[in-house]
Structure formats: C-alpha cells, structure tokens
Chain A
C-alpha cells in the first residue's frame, strides 16, 4: 500500500526563520512527488519533482527530491506570516497519495 509520511506534523517559528519540512514515501510505480500549500480552502500547487537531485525554486521556497532514499524536503527561507498554512506532500504513482501535512505557524 502506498504511503507518505511527513515531519514534523506541527511547527511554530518566528518571522525571518528558515524552515525545512520533510516528506518520505513508499509508492508503487512512483512517478512524481508534489508539494501543496493549504490555507483555509483547497490545496494550491507548489512544486512537482520527478528527478533526483534537481532543486525546484520559487521565490523563498525550494524543494528537492532524493529518489534513492525516497524522500523530499521543502525549504522556506525568511519566513513571513503569510507562509502560515498546512503543507501537504503527495506522491503520484497510480493516483495521488497525500501525507498528513505539516502545520506551519509563523509568528510576527
């Protein structure tokens, strides 16, 4: 059975801090690893990673995938209060399997 695990489940930081969110997976016929940000409503897409070792970046967010060790990390530098959200990691093989999410709270 496909499985995605995230850590930590909850994180509280202050503005300006850098955070690293972790995601490990066990997926049959793995094709990609995706990161989503969820505020009050639907998840919004951040990154899709298919190849090992290639960093994806978008502003202060970046992510990398290690297909050998079956994990991914999401980094957020210089955090802002607007980064407060639940960050979901998902694997895509036959369908999308989501982890439990990391709830990030950024305090002013």
Chain B
C-alpha cells in the first residue's frame, strides 16, 4: 500500500507565486492534516479536515488555504508565497477517532519548499 502520498517532493518558488501541494491517502481515513516543520519547532498544524467536506484552522493557518476534494485527497494552496513559508510540509492522515480512544497519524514523505 502507498499510504500517504505527497507531491511534489521539492519546489522552489519566487515570492508572490502560487502553488498547490497535493496529498492523497489510500487507507480510507476520515481525518487529514497539513503540518509545516521548521528547525527547532517540531510540527505545527496548518489546517486539518476531520471528515470529507469539513476543514478547520490549526495553529498557523495564515497565508494558506486547503481543499478536501474527496475522502482521499487534501490539498494545501499558497496563494502568494512569501519567504517565511520556506519550510518542509507534511501531510498526514488518521482514522476517525470520534468516540474512540485514540489513533495514530500516518505521514507522507514531505515537500521541501523554498521561497526566494
């Protein structure tokens, strides 16, 4: 099984350009997440989607938009890239744990984005 697949793996943008990071999972998970990782700061949640058709802001949503296209796919869009958005982006998914005790997050391999 592929698990969580992110594209692209690497991207260089100029300030002001836009782009969409794609994420797809084949584990039939309801919940999906986008994180960014910067040195010394762990993983910070940008947006998450608890189920198809719903999205919620995380800790650092400014400058980003998301779309939960269907149950499998959750995309992250940068409308006007800024150097502060240079980071490694991870998509993750998990089972719908509502009412259940807990679940594990499965991660994609990451996208290294540089904005110059």
A residues neighboring B (CB under 8 Å): 4, 6, 9, 31-32, 34, 41-43, 45, 48, 50, 88, 90, 92, 95-101
Contacts and interface: CB of A to CB of B under 8 A. Distances in A.
A100 B97 contact: no
Contact of A96 (B33, B101, B110): B33
Interface stretch (B10-18, B22-30, B39-47, B65-73): B39-47
A100 B102 contact: no
Nearest to B31: A95
Nearest to B98: A94
A41 B109 contact: yes
Contacts of A41: 109-110
Contacts, number: 58
8 contacts: A42-B109, A43-B43, A43-B90, A48-B102, A95-B48, A98-B35, A98-B43, A101-B42
| Interface-centre pick from A6, A9, A34, A92 (highest chain B CB count, 10 A) | A92
B75 interface: no
A104 to B, nearest CB: 14
A57 B89 CA distance: 30
Contacts of A45: 104-106
The 9 closest A-B pairs by CB, nearest first: A32-B102, A42-B107, A98-B43, A100-B42, A98-B42, A31-B102, A101-B42, A96-B105, A95-B48
A88 B44 CA distance: 12
Nearest to B6: A42
A88 B102 CA distance: 17
A53 to B, nearest CB: 16
B61 interface: no
Most buried by B among A4, A34, A50, A98: A98
Given A41-B110, A95-B33, A95-B58, A100 B48 contact: no
B104 A34 contact: yes
A86 to B, nearest CB: 9
